[in-house]
Structure formats: C-alpha cells, structure tokens
Structure 1
Amino acid sequence: MQQNNDSLEYTRIRRVAPIAVNTHGGRAKCLQRLVRLDLPVPETVALSFDAVRKLADGHPLDISALLKTFGDAPLLTVRPSSEDPDWGGPGAMLNVGMNDQRHAELTQTLGPDTADALYLRFVQAYAIHIERLDPEEFENDSATPVRLALKSALDAYENETDEPFPQDVETQLIKVLRSMARAWSGTTARLLRQAKGAPADAGLGLIVQAMSFGVGADESGAGVIQLIDEETGAPLIRGRYKRQAIGRSALTDKTDVMYLTHDARGPSLEVDCPALFEQLTTMTQLCRVKLREEMLVEFIIENNKLVILDAVRVQRSSRAALRSAVQLAEDGIIPKSDALLRIPPRSLTELLHPQVDPTAPRVAFAKGIAASPGGAVGRLVFSSAAAQVSEARGEACILVRRETAPEDIRGMHSSVGVLTERGGVTSHAAVIARGMGVPCVVGASMTINSRKKTITGANGQTLNEGDMITLDGSAGEALIGETKMLPPSKDYWYLQLMEWADAIRDIDVRANADTPADAAMARDFKAQGIGLCRTEHMFFEGDRLTVMREMIFAATHEDRQEAISRLLPMQRSDFIELFRIMQGQPVCIRLLDPPLHEFLPSDRAGAKELAEALDLPLSDVTRRIEWLSEFNPMLGMRGVRLGITFPEIYEMQARAIFEATIEASKLGAPVVPEVMIPLVSAMREVELVKTLVDGVAAAVRNEKGAEFTYRLGVMVETPRAALRAHEIAQHAAFLSFGTNDLTQMAYGLSRDDAGRFMNAYVQQGVFPEDPFHTLDVDGVGELLTIGAARGRKASPKIVLSVCGEHGGNPESIAFCRAAGFDYVSCSPFRVPVARLAAAQLVAAEAKATNLSRK
C-alpha cells in the first residue's frame, strides 16, 4: 500500500514495493530483500527520505491510515534507515502504542511482570528521547519492583509535563516519528555523520514495524546470530539468545543468556531446540548468499515460531572485512571485482603494521594527529643520539621531539615510533615516518621540557625519559605503559586480494626507497621498481655524515675531492645493494637535493661536537654554518643548483651509480639505472648536468671496459619546469613530477608550517582538503596536465610519473591514471594501498559499463 494524498507518503514493504537504498535507506531495502526470500518478517511500513524531511518541517502524516496497516491496537517499533548503516541515526523506539489498556491486556496474556516491564521501558524511552525530560527523573533501582518503578515513571512524567502519559497511539507515533526526523537534521547529528563520510544532505528513512515479543508459554526469546568472527573473519556461528526476552535490548543484560551452539559452559539453543537452531542457521546462510554479505541477523522466537526482525552487515575489523570479501568471491557469491571494491585501500595499512589491540585497556596520556598508522611500545627518548644508544642496547624506544628536522632521521630509524608536539599530517615527522612504516603521532596535546627530559600531558601528568609508553599511530594517541599489540597480517586472504588487484590494474606502482632496507621492503610489497631514491638519506649515517661534513668544510678543491673520494665507495656499495635487491627492476636515483646546511648541526652543542671532530675552532665552525644558512632554504641553493655550483658532488654520484651498474649486472639481469636531476627550472640546467653525467659514463666505460645503458630524467618540482616541459623533454627520457615541492611552490605554502592553520582553512571551505594530503587537481593538477601534455608532444615516448606523497593517495591515483601517467611512486608501506586503489578504478569502470548495458 502506498499513501500519497494531501499528507506524506509511506510504503508497505512488499516484494514489488518501490523501495531503494537511495530513497528509503539500507534497512528498508534489506527488509524488502528478506521479504523476497520468504523469510518471516513482521508487517513493516517505510517512510522515504523526502517524507522524513517534510515530517521534520511539520508536514502532516495520515497516522490513522498508517496504523490500519497493523490492525487493531498494535504495538510498534520505529527504527532509522540511513543510506549507509555506518552513518548512524537516532536510536530505535520500541513498544510504541503501549498504554493502560494494552498494559491490562498483556497482563492477562503475558503476565504482570512482563507487561509492567514493557510499559516501563516505553515510558522511560518516550520521556527521555521524545519529550527530552531529565533522565534522572526516570531512573529506577534494580531492587525496586517493576510495578512500583512503572508507577513512579508515570507520576514523574505527569509532574514534568503537567499532563498524564499519552494514551492515544496516534499521538505517540507521530511524536516519535517527528522527534526522530528532527534529531537527524540537528547540527550535532549532521556533524557526527559528516565525520563518518556522509554528505551534508544525507537523508534518513524511518521504519515502522509490528512488535514481536520473545515471551510466551512455549519456547520464546530474542537473539542475534552471525556466521563469522568479527575480528578475524573466520567462519563460525556467533551470537546469543535469551529466553523470555523483550526485544533485542534485553540482550545487553548478560545474565541467563544462552549460547547458540553446543557449549560445555552452559545451555545452548542447538541442544535445547535443534529444529529451531537448524531453521535459524539455514535462514542466516540464505541471507549471506542472497544478500551477498556477512549479516548479523536479529531474531525472535515466539511460542516456537521464528521471526526475523532485521539483518545488518556485521561490524568487523579491517582484517575480517578483507577475509570476508575474498571468501565470498571464492564461494562464487560475488565476483572478484566486487571483492576488490569492498576493501577501502587505506585499511590495508592496518593489516601491514602491528596494531594496538582495540579490546585492550588503554590510558591515554596525549592525543594528537594520526600521522602514520600502526602501533609500537617503547621507552621515551628525547634525542637522536639517545635513540641510537637505545637501539644499540636492543631496547625499543619512541623518539619524542618538539618537531623533527633532517638531522633527526638517524634517530627516527633507530626508533619504533615518533611523537611530536607540533606538526600536521604533512610535516617532516609525518612524511618520513610514513615512508619508513613507523607509527607517528604529531601535534600531540603535551608539553616537552628538553632540559629536564620530560613530557607533560594535557591532564598534568608527567613522564620522564625511559618511561614506557605505547604509541597508537592509527588513533593518534600516546598511551601510558605497555599495551597489548596485534601482529601485522599478510596472510592468504591479503595475498589473494592483491593478486586479483594486480591482474587488472593498468598503471604501475613503484616505491620511494632510500636505503637497501627500504628497497627490500618495497620488493616485499610487490613494488614494480624504485621511483625515487633520495640519495641524501644515505649521507645521514654516522660515518658518512662525518665525511660529508669534512667535504662541506673543505677549504680547497683538492680537499673537497679527497672527501668526496671517500664517499664514493660508500655510495657505490649502497647502489649495488639496491640493484641486487630489485633484481632487474627499474631504480630511479635522484641526485643530491637538500641544501648543504641540512648536514650540519643546528645547535651549539652539535657545533662544538663537530669542531672537535674536525679539529677546528668553534668560531670557524659556527661561521661556516652561518654562511651556509639561507633565509629560505627550500628556494635556495639546493638540487640542480647545488650540482652546478659544486659539480664534484654529482660527478661522484654518477660514477658511483655507473660503477654499481657494472658490478650489479654481473649478478643477474643487466641493470639500467635511471638518473634524476632535482629541482630543475630551465632547459640549460638539464643540458649542463647531462653533459657532466654523459662524460662520467664515458669515463667509466673506458676505465672498466664494460658497456651499460642508463636513462636520464628530470624531477618536475617547480611550476616553471611544468610550463617549459616541452623544452626539458628534449633532453630527458622521463619526467617525474615531485608533487610535494610542486604543491609548496604552486601555493607559496610551506608543508612543514601548514599544519598551524590548515584545519581552519579546510573547515571554512578555503581548501576542500589539505593539498599536501590529497592532490589539488584544479591548481597543481593543471600544472601536471600541462607538463604531461607538453612533454609528450615534444617527446611522444617520454615516461611520466608522480613520485610525491600523493603517489599513494587513492584519489590522486585516479587523477594520474586519467591524465595518462605511466606510474606512481610512494613509500613502501603505501604500495599495497596504491595497487588496490589502481585496481579499483578499473573494476569500478567495468561495473559502471555493465550497469549501463542492462
């Protein structure tokens, strides 16, 4: 039956009723599917999104006609039905229609205690959630007899409202419906669901359903059942059942709850009522197959008759969701492409890192921004030196800094987690930690005292160096003490899903890897090569840093050459190992990029230590540091500018690459290295470096008597390089767009400082999203499109890629694929995310095509 005269529309849920998820919500559509499966579902009526909006605005509803659907004197349940169950909604309202007359009738049929309990529960819920009365006025002591508690609640209602509890069913129902409709449109509810990804104008449907009671003379009760473990996804029958229970809410009372399956610890439905148990499990399995999802089924047994009230998707962990999707595909219930589409790419990061057990007790010390996922347990340290000492002792540590700088990289490598007082999701600590796969929390609510080596949380509690904490990078929390952890999971289900993803995706995924350890991780995550090897990270190791500093302080060209000659074998050995690990896959090596001052200490204590190491007066060291310092280092003498000014550095690196190429090629397939010039803005820069690199290559070929090939390319990080890509492409085999720096220069915005105001900007709609987190397809994206088009026009076979942080962002991958890029490159731990995201784009296109043909 459908009502649509002068008042609002409602629809009886029948097999052919016009019910859809986008008009009536997921719950309404699911109930219709249950009806189509011939399952015993109570009489149900659905109100559409549009009807609920109008109801909230005061439009009339023909309650009398609606109630006739349920016969004389019905008792009803009202439930929300949003488009996505994760968006929430107002709580269900049970026993609508209960009044003195129904109470008297139920006293005769169900007994006084049951009737009193039904009435009491409705009075309490109606008073608190519909009339918004003080909850304390309706609390009752569990020791108080139900009859007295009911009388007290009715009296309290009359005292608070100056009128008796409403006895008219129509009055009760319209107030319940209108209250739930208005609750959904309230500011708090809107913000909560938007935080869960719901659009601002998301609609709510309402379900009105005849009540079923799990009470009676014969077998009666209420329960829930599901067919998987919500943490692991393993198949099992899980749930609970309680005899003589009034609605599902009674199941929150764990006393006298029965097991579903046979269990030595107590009675079970399987043993006591085998026929009902078999019928229940058969219906639940039917829901799984026909609804193509693992469902939590809510049921009632009323005098030996089974009733299905509802079925919702099982709430589960990322691990369980992945296994369920793969299992449904392997069972032939859904296609493999659907299994791929059901897994949010970012959820893979939870599987690939150790995680804090969500069921373990936790005491939060500080809260901040979840900058790099995973969990770690370790002792607090306040400096990179202390972190290295801790690692040498075999003790796990968590590095705490006000904010990290390039000189902290060694300490970050020695730590199992990073915690900072300042910063955002694109700050130095966040970016480096994600690249290393180390959990990180930035912008934490704490105060650091570096001198005393203490941190004080927002609650005033203070922790000292050496104290044990747990870092939850997924939740953005630092916890006191050692909390139980869950190991990473790269099991059969993960591997199977990724195999399906790789079979259909049409854009390559490489990894940003700076060390042999990073390369091994990239290989393990099935990266198709290295898209960015930042050679400067190799120089931050202890012995190399000293030599690097000697080179920087060299007074003559000869002294500088001598120091560089000592760096050569170190770089060469690293490159040989990188090539060996990648086994013939492409390796793109970026020549030195950062300004030289980043290799020097930033404080007086560090300067004094360096003066002692170099046997120089402290004043000389201080003056040299000051001379190298720049007002704006990001826009100063770095990248190709450094290579042209000090060509010895790039000469050494090119020689190390080519000598490593020859050696590594002896171990297996020929190596074809990719040499990348950073921070280019003019064609002449490329010509100068290309001449230098080609000369080194010729010299190495002559000295070693060996042939090799290589590819020279450019890292496009400046707007001018993108605009002049047609000139640059004439001298380059590839263009790799470094979107981190390109975004900074396009916006005139420092990535490390943006966190101070970015949240306010996003909230006020200045930016739709942090442009360092999600690629700005309008501005920066246009630079990419222009650069790609002009580069390809000048050199049709040129290879295009993105190698910034955006390379692992699913939304950004969609843009790169549409723009015709050949590959994206991201940190090793984000490689699986990128692989799945790329496959989902293909699967979604295929699904849309199939739907359009039907």
Structure 2
Amino acid sequence: MFVGKELETVKKKLIHYFSQNKCEGNADMKNLLGGKGANLAEMCNIGIPVPPGFTISTSACQNYYQDHGLSDDLCNEIKKYMATLENDIGCKFGDPNNPLLVSIRSGSVNSMPGMLDTILNVGLNDETVIGLAKKSGDRFAYDSYCRFIMMYSNVVLQLDHHLFQSVIDNKQQQNGVKCLADLDIGVLKEIVNDFKKIVYEKTRKHFPQDVEEQLLSSINAVFASWQNDRAISYRKIHNISENLGTAVNVQAMVFGNLNNNSATGVIFTRNPSTGEKRRFGEFLINAQGEDVVSGVYTPMPVNGERENTMERLMPSIYQELCEICRKLEVHYKDMQDIEFTVQNGKLWILQTRSGKRTAEATVRIIVDMVNEGTITKEEGILRINPKTLDNLLHPVLDLKGDQKVVGKGLPASPGVASGHVVFNANNAEIAAGQGKKVILVRSETSPEDINGMNAASGIMTARGGMTSHAAVVTRGMGKPCICSVSGLYIDKDENFFSIGDTKVNKDEPITINGGTGEVMLGILPTISPELSQEFKTIINWIDEIKTIKVRANADTPKDAKIAKEFGAEGIGLCRTEHMFFTSDRIEFIQKLIIADDEVERENALSKLEKMQKSDFKEIFSIIKGREVTIRLLDPPLHEFLPNNQSAIEKIAKSLNKSIESVKNKIAQLSEKNPMLGHRGCRLAISHPEIYGMQVRAIFSAVSELKKEEKVEIKPEIMIPFIMNEKEFVLICELVRKEAENFDVSYLIGTMIELPRAALIADKLAKHAEFFSFGTNDLTQTTMGLSRDDSVNFLDSYKESNIFENDPFEVLDTEGVGELIEIAIERGKRTQKEIKLGICGEHGADPKSIEFLIKSEVDYVSCSPYRVPIAKLVAAQFSIKSQCAR
C-alpha cells in the first residue's frame, strides 16, 4: 500500500511497467490501472507467467479527453517504456529481422466484456512480416498480418469488419476449409493484398507501414472507445460512472497461432453457470484469443469426457494451468475468469478477473467458499449484487405443459424466456419499446448488439461457445442464452430461421431454456422456481445480520403465501381495493357506487363485507401473528366503474337500471385530476359506510380466527391520503366506534403521502400509533410528476443530468427524503415510540433503503418477490456500518 507523498507520486505517474523482474503496480491500484492492468501487475508480483508490458493509467484517459488527444509528453513516455519492453523481450519494435509485436488492450475499472477495443499484432508491416516469417514460419507470419490489418482497419480506421470477413469467408469456401488457420501461405498473401486494397479504396490512403504510427493510433483508438455507443449503453445498463475512463495495456504479444503446439483459451476456476467446484473452460489450437470469445468459431472444452479436450491433447500444460487456477483463486478469494495463451508449449496468462456468473452460481460459490473457510459470511454477503437475488426468483418452465423441442444448443446462460423472434438489435429495441417480449436470434452477437441484447428477453445464436460474447454478457445480465444451436440457419434477409425441417418466421413466438439449451415453439407456461438450499442458507445469514424488518406488500391470500415463502416479516401494505378487482367481485362494488337507495347500498355493502372478511381471515391465518398493515380504500370510485359499452350494459341490466342512468353516474364521478381528487380518506368523510364496512370485516376476521386457531392478531389499520388533523380524528373515531363491538387489539395510523401530512406530523402523531410513508404518491405530490406520464420526458432529464436516477425508482433524498426526515423528527417529538415504515416501490431499492435505515425507520415493505433483495441490502448496510466504526 502507498501512503502520503508516495501515493501522490503514484497518482501523477501516467505509465506503470509490469514484468517478472520489475513491477510498478498491484491489485490495490484498480482505479488507476483498471481491472486488467491491476491484475496483470498483481500476477507478476505473485509469480504467475505474464508477458511483460506497461499500463497507461485511467488518469491519462481523463487527460486524453481534456486535451482532445494524446499529449506530446505522454507520447514521449510511451517511447521510453517501449524501449524498456524491447530490452526485456530481446526484440525491437519495427526491426525487420527481429520484430517485437505488441497487443493494445483496454482495461476499465469495472469489467465491460467486449465493449471497449483491442488491437493485436501491432508492429507488423510489409518488412517486419518477412522477418517474422524467417523467424517463425511463413504461414504463421501472414496469418498474423491478416488478423492485424483486419482488426486495425476496423478499430482505428473505422472500416466495417464485414468488408474483411467476407474476403476470408470467400477464400475459405473456395478452398474448402473452415478457418483461417487451414488456408495455405499463398492464399494468406492474397488476403493481405485484398485487405490493403480495401483500405486504400475506402480511405484513399495506404495501410500504415510506420510502426510508431500504428502504436500511437491504436492507443488513441482504445481511449476513444470509452465513448463509443456500445460502451455508453453498457455503462447505462450496469450503472457504471462515465467519469472513470479506461486504462490501456501495451503488452508483448505471445502467439497461440504459432503452430499446432500453440493454443489460446479461457478458463473459469469454477463453473460460472452452476457454481460447481470444477474448472470450466474452452480453447482453440493454433488460434488467437479473439477467436475464442468472438463466437465465430466453436471451441473445444478444456476438460471433460470428450476426446478433444486440453486435458488430453496438452496434459502437461493443462496441469500447469490447473495449478495457476488454484493459486489465483486462493489469492483473490473468488472464482476467476482467466485468459491464457500457449506459445509453442509455453503457458502464458494474459488476464485474470472475478468471473461473471449466474445468480445460481453466485450463491453456491459464496456458500461453498464460506464453508471452505476462504471468506467470511459477511464478505460473502457483501459480494452479492441485489440483482442477483432478483434473477434467482425468475420463473422456470412448467414441465407439465406441452413442449415441442425443435432444436438444441449449448446452455450458455440459464433461465427461461418466451418472446417473438427478431433478428437484429435495432428491431429488438423497437419491439421491446412497444411492450413486446422478444428473443434475439443471431449468427453470433457482437458488442454493437448491446442495446438489443438488453432489450431482449433471451438470446439464441448459431455459433459461439460457452465463453463467447453472447454467453458472457447474458450471464452478467441474468438472461437466458443458447449458443451454437445445432443446424440453425438464419435467412440472409432476416425473414425466418430454420432448424432441420422446422421453419420459424420473424415475429413468431418461441421459448428458450438457457439451462438445458432447448429451443421450443410458442409461448410456454412457467412456474415459480424452487429455491436452492444455498439460497436459504444465505437468507438465514442475512436475517442474522440485518437490523431492520422487511415486510411485503400483499393484497390477497396468494400474495401473502408468496411473501411468507420469501421470508417477509409481516405485511406492510395490504391494498384493500385490490380485493375487489377480480371478475367475480367487481360487480358488487360497482353496484355499491351506482346504487340510488339505501336498500341497494346496504345489500352491496353486506356482500363486500363477507368477501373482505374471508380474505382478511385467510391472510391473517397465513401470516400467523406477524404484523399486517391494512390500508383502507384509497382510489377514486370511478376507477371501479365500467369503461366500455358491453360492461355498462351488463351492470345496468344486473341493477335493473337504464344504460343512460349508469352512464350519467359514471360521468358524475369522473374527475379531471383523480390523482388529487375524491379518494382515500376523503371517501370516508363523504361515505363513512364504506370504511365502516371494511373495519368490521377486519375485526370480525380477527375475532373468528382468535377463537378458531388461538392466534393473537393485532391488525394495523392505515388511513390513506390524510392532509388535515381533523379529518384524521374523524376517521379514527369511526374506527374506534366499530372496535367497541369486538374484543380485539389493533393499531391505527396513517400513510404519509402528501407534503402537508409530513409537515403536520407532530399533530397527526397525537392520534396515530404508526406512520407508513407512501413514497410513490409522496414523490408525485412533492415533485409534481406523474409516474404514468413523466416517462415521456424523464429520459431527457437524465441525459441532461437534471436527474441522476428516475425518482420513482430511486428515492429523491433532497426533496422527498427531506420531507420524510421532517415527518419522523416531528412525529417522534410528539410520540417517541411511534412505529415507522415505508410501503412505496422504493422499499426494495438499495440506495433508498440505505437512506431509510439512516433515517431510523423500523421496517421497509416491498413486493413479495423483492423481499430477499431488501433483506440483502439491509444486511449489507449493517456490515458496512460495522466496518466504518
């Protein structure tokens, strides 16, 4: 670790060298060297065979954008470090007889697989290729030259990759081979000449022969790739800061395409799909690294039962690789994703990083590593991204349904997704924007597809292995993916795909199972997943550590069961109006609203009371004595009324009323701004019989269950939309009057969802035993935003940096949060022991939960499926708080 002036010196230093003999960095310098550079340095420090090189820091990237290019001082520093590298390797950059070639790779602080640019074999030109051929063979030299011209032209000269790939495809087809490595030297020389012609035709300049120009323009291009479209999209998707920048790693080339005793590959120290403690990887003989991850080739497994594995074909190298895997996992205390190259029988490690993995693998690896004594429970919990637990709760295929399996590929990322077929990223975005679920079907994905991949529900490719771009990115997104689907043919005009005799047109629905690799026709039914023992173990650890309760928003017995299964510590919001929305109940509340006389109204109220009592009784029985907060009727009455002709006719007939009179009643109840209209407690002031009915249903359910099951239940009755102390007093009196007829205990409180309620919290607390903050409506009324309509302009606000986040997803702590803190302070001033909770959608957002814990609320409440996420965030906050003390 660096301290004081030494640390300042390190920060000012823009380039850091790494080799077995001299290393100027370590793993703690990730923010400066990027993830790749920090890990290359760290591996050198612990004796891992890493090709030497140097890292140009993220500070240099920030300077690059300020100066609009590479400064002269930086260029001079790069030349000095190249001289050091030449001395280390014993080759000279640009030397026609003994050329040094380098790779130029990006290295952001956060892993961004495939989003930033890489250029290999920099330093090749018409002279050095001859020298390389004399040293290592013609076929190898010109294979490398082909690759360099294609990659440099695409990344630096911004020419379409397919211009060059189509030349290779044609030559392979003409010569009856499947890959570049199988073409003879004469054909490779033809490809080099064809490539140079393309460059001249498109740029009116010859392909650069000056190796220094190649080097500096490649570094420039990698820095520039920080702001390419796919990188910007990826950062938005994964909430990565724009200000970090990328480092650039200049490293001596080692060649997996030298001969048949050479190879390149990727290996994970544990299975990234299942978490099983078994090495998992892929490799290609006589190839370069991009061949494995691009998806163009289907690689071979590193180990396993097949004959063509590294374990069998290169046994001594495999054993050395396994020992390095063990050493790196022990050192980093996490599953590692390792890129390697074998050059003529010598193993080199090009990169290690914490491997992207599925949600299932995440929890299994953490539990295993805690049990192995590698990490503590607290360390394991801190490693879990809240989205990971969310992904674990995704539905799985219902095996009882009819399934027609039409194809199978590699199960690259688990999960089940159904959607309509699209063939390009742009169409995926458009369809998803229209609310359509889609499956993106491609020959292989590339980094340019990132927005479409994010929009799609699942991905299917014709090519690529388990470590291809499609596989790695979808695992990080928690989406299902199938690669290398056998026999998959995609129409060149993107109108259909076929697998064998089965043809599926664009926009037709399919289902993919990323856990089995199966492709099925149609939209298939799914069911809730069975949670693994590892998941339950982690939740138990979380419950031991967190200091705040997590309840669920549950409106029906079905919701209450799900909430209990996911570990909810009670119900924080039961929206009673949701009990009326089923088709067999809606007519009764409609009759109540439309009724003209007392008899009709009493009849409708009686039926509704029985329904509500039945639901409350079942919910109380499921929750078994845990706290249940019941919000009395909240929405405007017109929301329950029919809005189409056939429904109006039906309700008119059932009430023996004219269609015209029903229409008049609907018109009478309609409001210009119902959000701020006749709703919530205002209904109880106008129609006290509705709240009276609901309170009787609650208390009678409690009384009956108390006798039948000997269960003590203390319901929390919540009055919504309060803005005035007097209205709250009136409704409290109504509740207490009804309670006189029952032997029950209960709490009464209010939902703070209007700014005025927050400001008069000291007055409300004289009558309330709890506050629950309804942050959805409090956000709307504080900020003057509609969560339904503001979607039309919120993106513009985020792009203009007016909002950092959507305020309906992440709590606005400056405005809405300030009102919450005012209400808590004033409420506690009146009643020190008042219970405090939150029941808005912010109850499962990590940033919002941290703010609420600091504000000293007693519980948060969220949808049942997000209970584990809220628990995790609460536990992580507790751990961080302990560490900070």
TM-score range, shorter chain: 0.7 to 0.9
Question: Are the counterparts in 2 of residues 536 and 592 from structure 1 also a CA contact under 8 Å?
Answer: yes
Closer/same/farther in 2, CA of residues 80 and 483 from structure 1, 3 Å limit: farther
| Mapped partners of 2:540, 2:600: distance in 1 | 53
Structure 1 residue 246: Cα displacement: 4.1
Equivalence for 1:555: 596
Structure 1 residue 486: Cα displacement: 9.3
| Mapped partners of 2:525, 2:645: distance in 1 | 41
Question: Are the counterparts in 2 of residues 512 and 531 from structure 1 also a CA contact under 8 Å?
Answer: yes
1:363 aligns with 2:368: no
Equivalence for 1:774: 810
1:353 to 383, 387, 394: 394
Structure 1 residue 791: Cα displacement: 0.5
Closer/same/farther in 2, CA of residues 628 and 373 from structure 1, 3 Å limit: closer
Deviation readout 1:300-349 (Å, 9 max, x if unpaired): 22333222122233233333233333333332222222222222213322
| Mapped partners of 1:351, 1:542: distance in 2 | 32
1:13 to 18, 21, 35: 18
Equivalence for 2:82: 67
Secondary structure, aligned partner of 2:757: helix
| Mapped partners of 2:288, 2:601: distance in 1 | 84
Secondary structure, aligned partner of 1:69: helix
1:223 to 246, 265, 282: 265
| Mapped partners of 1:157, 1:827: distance in 2 | 57
Equivalence for 1:118: 144
| Mapped partners of 1:675, 1:551: distance in 2 | 22
1:795 aligns with 2:836: no
2:45 to 24, 36, 51: 36
Closer/same/farther in 2, CA of residues 183 and 651 from structure 1, 3 Å limit: closer
Closer/same/farther in 2, CA of residues 134 and 823 from structure 1, 3 Å limit: closer
- Bigger mean CA deviation after superposition, 98-107 or 366-375: 366-375
Equivalence for 2:125: 99
Secondary structure, aligned partner of 1:228: coil
| Mapped partners of 2:871, 2:699: distance in 1 | 31
Closer/same/farther in 2, CA of residues 352 and 150 from structure 1, 3 Å limit: same
Question: Are the counterparts in 1 of residues 588 and 604 from structure 2 also a CA contact under 8 Å?
Answer: yes
Equivalence for 1:316: 357
| Mapped partners of 1:485, 1:543: distance in 2 | 25
| Mapped partners of 1:44, 1:358: distance in 2 | 43
Question: Are the counterparts in 2 of residues 501 and 836 from structure 1 also a CA contact under 8 Å?
Answer: yes
| Mapped partners of 1:717, 1:809: distance in 2 | 18
2:644 to 603, 617, 638: 603
Equivalence for 1:564: 605
| Mapped partners of 2:217, 2:433: distance in 1 | 45
Closer/same/farther in 2, CA of residues 669 and 80 from structure 1, 3 Å limit: same
Deviation readout 1:246-293 (Å, 9 max, x if unpaired): 455367688795442253x43333234433222111111211121222
Equivalence for 1:837: 873
Equivalence for 2:717: 675
Equivalence for 1:704: none
- Bigger mean CA deviation after superposition, 633-642 or 537-546: 537-546
Structure 1: gaps spanning 5 or more residues: 378-416, 418-438, 440-458, 460-466, 701-706, 850-854
Secondary structure, aligned partner of 1:730: coil
Question: Are the counterparts in 2 of residues 353 and 373 from structure 1 also a CA contact under 8 Å?
Answer: no
TM-score, with structure 2 as normaliser: 0.78
- Bigger mean CA deviation after superposition, 210-219 or 251-260: 251-260
Structure 1 residue 776: Cα displacement: 1.4
Question: Are the counterparts in 1 of residues 416 and 511 from structure 2 also a CA contact under 8 Å?
Answer: no
Q: Which amino acid aligns with 1:339?
A: G
Q: Where does 1:190-269 land on structure 2 (aligned, <5 Å)?
A: 190=232, 192-214=234-256, 219-249=261-291, 258-263=300-305, 265-269=306-310
1:282 aligns with 2:286: no
| Mapped partners of 1:372, 1:160: distance in 2 | 38
Closer/same/farther in 2, CA of residues 215 and 559 from structure 1, 3 Å limit: closer
| Mapped partners of 1:748, 1:630: distance in 2 | 18
Equivalence for 1:846: 882
Q: Where does 1:90-489 land on structure 2 (aligned, <5 Å)?
A: 90-133=116-159, 138=164, 139-140=167-168, 141-142=171-172, 143=175, 145-154=187-196, 156-157=198-199, 165-185=207-227, 189-190=231-232, 192-214=234-256, 219-249=261-291, 258-263=300-305, 265-354=306-395, 357=415, 363-364=421-422, 469=509, 481-482=522-523, 488=529
Equivalence for 1:693: 735
TM-score, with structure 1 as normaliser: 0.81
Closer/same/farther in 2, CA of residues 373 and 733 from structure 1, 3 Å limit: farther
Structure 1 residue 584: Cα displacement: 0.5
Q: Where does 1:452-851 land on structure 2 (aligned, <5 Å)?
A: 469=509, 481-482=522-523, 488=529, 490-666=531-707, 667-700=709-742, 707-849=743-885
Secondary structure, aligned partner of 2:765: helix
Closer/same/farther in 2, CA of residues 248 and 672 from structure 1, 3 Å limit: same
Closer/same/farther in 2, CA of residues 719 and 215 from structure 1, 3 Å limit: closer
| Mapped partners of 1:194, 1:116: distance in 2 | 40
| Mapped partners of 1:634, 1:673: distance in 2 | 27
| Mapped partners of 2:289, 2:856: distance in 1 | 56
Q: Which amino acid aligns with 1:102?
A: T
Equivalence for 1:413: none
Secondary structure, aligned partner of 2:85: coil
- Bigger mean CA deviation after superposition, 319-328 or 481-490: 481-490
| Mapped partners of 1:643, 1:256: distance in 2 | 67
Q: Percent identity?
A: 36
| Mapped partners of 2:712, 2:760: distance in 1 | 33
| Mapped partners of 2:233, 2:678: distance in 1 | 46
Equivalence for 1:79: 105
- Bigger mean CA deviation after superposition, 102-111 or 18-27: 102-111
Question: Are the counterparts in 2 of residues 808 and 826 from structure 1 also a CA contact under 8 Å?
Answer: yes
- Bigger mean CA deviation after superposition, 211-220 or 549-558: 211-220
Secondary structure, aligned partner of 1:25: helix
Question: Are the counterparts in 2 of residues 761 and 767 from structure 1 also a CA contact under 8 Å?
Answer: yes
Q: Which amino acid aligns with 1:331?
A: E
Equivalence for 1:422: none
Closer/same/farther in 2, CA of residues 254 and 766 from structure 1, 3 Å limit: closer
Structure 2: gaps spanning 5 or more residues: 1-6, 93-99, 176-182, 397-413, 440-456, 458-478, 480-494, 496-506, 515-519
Structure 1 residue 229: Cα displacement: 2.8
Structure 1 residue 788: Cα displacement: 1.0
Secondary structure, aligned partner of 1:774: coil
| Mapped partners of 1:186, 1:129: distance in 2 | 11
Aligned residues: 750
Closer/same/farther in 2, CA of residues 831 and 135 from structure 1, 3 Å limit: closer
Structure 1 residue 225: Cα displacement: 1.6
Structure 1 residue 535: Cα displacement: 1.1
Structure 1 residue 168: Cα displacement: 4.2
Secondary structure, aligned partner of 1:353: coil
Equivalence for 2:446: none
Closer/same/farther in 2, CA of residues 572 and 123 from structure 1, 3 Å limit: closer
| Mapped partners of 1:87, 1:224: distance in 2 | 13
Closer/same/farther in 2, CA of residues 185 and 597 from structure 1, 3 Å limit: closer
Closer/same/farther in 2, CA of residues 361 and 65 from structure 1, 3 Å limit: farther
Q: CA RMSD in A?
A: 3.5
Question: Are the counterparts in 2 of residues 223 and 299 from structure 1 also a CA contact under 8 Å?
Answer: yes
| Mapped partners of 1:541, 1:187: distance in 2 | 46
Structure 1 residue 516: Cα displacement: 0.8
